[in-house]
Amino acid sequence: MTAVVEDRPKEACLVMATPAGDGSPAKPGTEARCGGKGPEAQRMKEQIHRMHTSFTPDQPKSPPTVKVAEVPVTDKKATVDGDQVTVDGRTLKAIVLSHSTGVEKDQIGIRIEAGVVEGRWYVTNLGLSVG
Mean pLDDT over residues 26-50, rounded?
87
Handedness of CA 73, 88, 106, 48 (dihedral sign): negative
Please give the Cα distance from 7 to 18 (Å, whole number).
Answer: 20
Residue 12 and residue 110 in contact, taking contact as beta carbons nearer than 8 Å: no
At 44 the pLDDT is 86
pLDDT of residue 21: 78
| C-alpha–C-alpha distance, residues 102 and 86, integer Å | 23
**Element (DSSP H or E) covering residue 92:** helix 92-98
Q: Kindly provide the b/e burial profile for residues 14-23, where b requires at least 16 CB atoms within 10 angstroms of the residue's own CB.
A: bbbbbbeeee
Asked if the model's pLDDT at residue 131 lies above 80, the reply is no
Determine which helix (DSSP H) or strand (DSSP E) holds 49, and give its type and residue range: helix 39-55
71-83 per-position pLDDT tens digit:
999 999 999 999 9
Query: Any idea where the domains of the chain sit in the sequence?
Result: 1-130
Render pLDDT for 42-80 as a digit per residue (tens, 0 to 9).
888 999 999 999 999 999 999 999 999 999 999 999 999
The confidence score (pLDDT) of residue 37 equals 86
**Bridge-partner residues for 80, per DSSP?**
112
d(CA 69, CA 122): 16
- Pick the residue with more confidence: 11 or 41? 11
How confident is residue 23, by pLDDT bands cut at 50, 70 and 90? confident
